[in-house]
Amino acid sequence: MSETPITPARSHRKERTGEVISNKMTKTIVVRVERRFRHPQFKKVVTQFHKLYAHDEKSEAKVGDRVLIQETRPLSKLKSWRLVEVVEHNKDAEPVAV
């Protein structure tokens, strides 16, 4: 009876890798995520971009960095992702054209 309670493992959550295109908001970054797929009818490789708002608690991501974000509960009207780690820092930070 003196066993420690076992905490359930966190369910599998979606993860995406993308590039930070804005960090002007407090504790929020905007990440551009690229998705490539083959069009079912025309068989051409199509590239789509999505802008995702992510929570950056420590404000460690800068514009141009490659980051890993993970889905989480809705934090605001637009934010439902959080920063897991900065995969690669950008050496020369230039604004990304959207």
9-46: per-residue pLDDT in tens? 667 899 999 999 999 999 999 999 999 999 999 999 99
Tokens describing residue 22: 């804005």
Task: Please report, for the domain that includes residue 55, its CATH number.
Answer: 2.40.50.140
- How far are the Cα atoms of 33, 83, 84 from residue 13, in angstroms, in the given order? 16, 13, 12
Other beta carbons within 10 Å of 48? 9
Report residue 71 as tokens: 């889905």
Question: Is residue 10 one of the residues assigned to a domain?
Answer: no
> How big is the chain, counted in residues?
98
| Segment 56-77 mean pLDDT | 96
With beta carbons less than 8 A apart as the criterion, state whether 98 and 31 touch: no
The residue range of the domain holding 53 is: 15-88
pLDDT digits (tens, 9 = 90+) for 45-58: 999 999 999 999 99
Per the domain annotation, does 3 fall within a domain?
A: no
pLDDT band at 62 (very low <50, low <70, confident <90, very high): very high
Report how many domains make up the chain: 1
Place of tokens 């420690």: 4
Residue 31 falls within a domain, yes or no? yes
Mean pLDDT (whole number) for 75-81: 97
